[in-house]
Structure 1
Amino acid sequence: MRRRLGRRALVVASAATLLLSTVMVGTASAHGSTIDPPSRNYGCWERWGSDFQSPDMATEDPMCWQAWQADTTAMWNWNGLYREHVAGNHQAAIPDGQLCSAGRTGGDRYAALDVPGEWHATEVDNDFTVTVHDQAHHGADYIRIYVTEQGYDPVTEPLGWDDLELVADTGLLAPGEGRPENSYPLNGVSIDIDVHAPGRTGRHVVYMIWKASHYDQTFYACSDVVFPG
């Protein structure tokens, strides 16, 4: 199994690339994402950030491969996928087919995350826990978790709003609420959200909407899962 970055320094191919990645991670270090099951770009960074130029990725993890080729900064900035001034009107701000990129926030930076395919998926039961990491103790007006309806095929279909069912809503979370994390690269708090998603089998997408409480700034994430059966 390929080495992960979780608890050690970032290793890259050259000093120039190291400098670039350090800048990218640093600029987004005050934000967060879904880390379990991992969002598509966090998972790609976690699995391949230390070896992102490896040709093995093309065959071992092809969806991550196409994402790295499209824009490497989407992975270095795994914690910066957000939109401002949405005012809670998520469907108006984000068109169908662009949910994973938050409506192409940042231009085309995160566009590859919208591509349907066999993304690396985490095995879960119909009762499972979603963990969202809040790096800078923003808190939340709410974190909402959605799971795709049975019958949706994430391998072939772009994700649309009608494919989702709301399965959890945290309501208000105070800044700093959650489990402290002191290991690189997290260094914030992790929020565990219990989810009940009956009637699902096979591949699905978990969609996270996190409205930060400090500002009209909303984070989004797609995570891939596999239910039993």
Structure 2
Amino acid sequence: MRKFVSHRPGARSRSVLTVLVAALACLFIWTPTASAHGTIIGPPTRAYQCWDDWGSDHMNPNLPTLDPMCSQAFQANPDTMWNWMSALRDGLNGNFQGSTPDGQLCSNALSRNNSLNRAGAWKTTNISNNFSMHLYDQANHGTDFFRVYVSKNGFNPATQTLGWGNLDFITQTGPYPQDNNVTFNVQTSGYTGHHIVFTIWQAAHLDQTYMWCSDVIFN
């Protein structure tokens, strides 16, 4: 006597659903915790500018001509663009300069983002000497402080990679509570033309440090 096997649609649907749920659970378990953090979106960091301008058009054949720096960054490692929010390192204990060699500031010393350190024709944002900065924090980490620097007069981002000796320290903020959007004002004087605004974000939930370069034109 043959064993009876049910072919009811409901039984089969439940079986397929069980498999799908198990598969999705595995994907969730293995999703990196670094997948949702934040960055300075105003003035935009180099990685965020690339994603904002080209994330939906990265296969444009004219990209190398229209935006050569984002093109080389994408060719070096697409993850630099896709993970614009995850340029973090753990456990620096405030030793930012000692943990970050000259020439690696814009990548936060992350080898996967080394293309962000390259000198060249990065897209710029026009700002005044008194300007506002905007952090978009997807995960609501909160902030211990921001530390803001501007590249010195005479430094040329188009031909030079950034080192600590090329920076003027401008300000360090106090803490900010958990929020998706944090804005704060920065006051400077005496800057004109193309500069780099270099920002350190010390997140509040863990010892996580983010470092970014934003290319600006001081008007």
The reply to whether TM is greater than 0.5 is yes
Q: For residue 182 of structure 1, what is the aligned residue in structure 2?
A: none
Q: For residue 213 of structure 2, what is the aligned residue in structure 1?
A: 222
1:29 Cα offset (Å)? 4.4
- Establish whether residue 84 from structure 1 lines up as the match of residue 109 from structure 2: no
Residue correspondence of structure 1 range 1-229 to structure 2 within 5 A = 28-103=34-109, 105=110, 108-176=111-179, 189-228=180-219
Deviates more, 1:202-211 or 1:166-175: 166-175
Aligned residues: percent identity? 45
Count of residues in correspondence between the two structures: 190
TM-score using structure 2 length:
0.83
Q: For residue 179 of structure 1, what is the aligned residue in structure 2?
A: none
Instruction: Give the structure with the larger helix fraction.
Output: 2
What CA distance in whole angstroms lies between the structure 1 residues aligned with 2:172 and 2:136? 16
Which ranges of structure 1 fall in alignment gaps of 5 or more residues?
A: 1-22, 177-188
| 4+ residue segments displaced more than 3 Å | 25-29
C-alpha contact 1:209 1:219 (8 A) present in aligned 2: yes
In our comparison, the structure showing a higher alpha carbon Rg is: 2
Which ranges of structure 2 fall in alignment gaps of 5 or more residues?
A: 1-27
1:27 Cα offset (Å)? 5.7
1:30 Cα offset (Å)? 2.7
What CA distance in whole angstroms lies between the structure 1 residues aligned with 2:185 and 2:211? 18
Aligned to 1:58, the other structure's residue is in SS state: helix
- Render the CA deviation track for 1:107-142: whole Å, top value 9, x for unaligned: x31000000011000011111111111211111111
TM-score using structure 1 length:
0.79
> How large is the RMSD of aligned CA atoms in angstroms?
1.6
Aligned to 2:64, the other structure's residue is in SS state: helix
C-alpha contact 1:168 1:194 (8 A) present in aligned 2: no
What CA distance in whole angstroms lies between the structure 2 residues aligned with 1:46 and 1:211? 24
Aligned to 1:96, the other structure's residue is in SS state: coil
What CA distance in whole angstroms lies between the structure 2 residues aligned with 1:148 and 1:72? 27
Letter in 2 for 1:163: N
